[in-house]
Amino acid sequence: MADQLNITPHLLDYVREFSLREDDILRELRAETGELPGGQAMQVPAEEGQLLALLVGVTRASTVLEIGTFTGYSTLCMARALPPRGRLVTCDISARWPEIGAGHWKRAGVADRIELRIGEAVETLAELIAAGGQESYDLIFIDADKANYPRYYELSLSLIRPGGLIVVDNTLFFGRVVDPTASDADTAGVRELNALLRDDDRVEISMLPMADGITLARRRSR
């Protein structure tokens, strides 16, 4: 039985040549983001954005929640995959970075599908729940500060509908999850979430060794 491949830069170039369908708007946003301090490390890879769009389409999602906007590359990918009356709520701690993506959202013709909420994500999620948002989202993408991943996950379980999909980014966290010397809060948060997911019978899960680790968690139907 074959084991996991070691994805070399050359092999990744091959994957992108034969799979990636990134247009000019996405490419320009990715390039602009890459010039920011830490931009290349913080934005999702282009192939992950394409996967997110595919998941929105496969699940027939019309309501999407994104926890962590940054410059809005993943936001744009998912918004484009929504039906015309679909809605995407994305939240970030600051308006500074999402403002970079806003013009690209408009150019792509999907700005009217996107609602940006600024503030602490835990508070935003609590507000959505208090406003009657329980079980109202078809897909939730978590890609924010890692120390709060366990809290984001529990709140997301209240917001996702039965049968809906939660997608969590960075669940391998640059390999730090298996580094015994890594004891920072972010690494601890990712480890705690991974253990929660493993033992949580409310969801079906699959951790994908792609990009920086992507975990899919489908909430079981009642």
Give the sign of the dihedral formed by CA 195, CA 205, CA 45, CA 60.
negative
pLDDT at residue 4, rounded to an integer: 74
Q: How far separated are the first and last CA of the chain, in Å rounded?
A: 36
Contacts within 8 Å (CB) and 24+ apart, 94-101:
94/118, 97/36, 97/69, 97/70, 97/71, 97/72, 98/69, 98/70, 98/71, 98/72, 100/29, 100/32, 100/33, 100/36, 100/71, 100/72, 101/29, 101/69, 101/71, 101/72, 101/73, 101/75, 101/76
Contact 171, 213 (CB under 8 A): yes
Three-class secondary structure assignment of 163-188? EEEEEEECCCHHHHHHCCCCCCHHHH
Residue 94 has pLDDT above 70, yes or no: yes
Homologous superfamily (CATH) for 9-219: Vaccinia Virus protein VP39 (3.40.50.150)
With bands split at pLDDT 50, 70 and 90, how would you rate the model's confidence at 154? very high
Q: What is the pLDDT at residue 132? A: 95
CA distance 55 to 69: 18
pLDDT at 114: 98
Tell me which amino acid residue 107 is: R
Q: What is the number of residues in the chain?
A: 222
What mean pLDDT is reported for the chain? 95
How many CA atoms within 13 Å lie on the side-chain side of 44? 33
- 6-42 pLDDT, tens digit each: 889 999 899 999 999 999 999 999 999 999 988 888 8
2 pLDDT more than 80: no
Q: Where are the domains of the chain?
A: 9-219
- Identify the residue with better confidence: 1 or 99: 99
Tens digits of per-residue pLDDT, 114-149?
A: 999 999 999 999 999 999 999 999 999 999 999 999
pTM metric for this prediction: 0.95
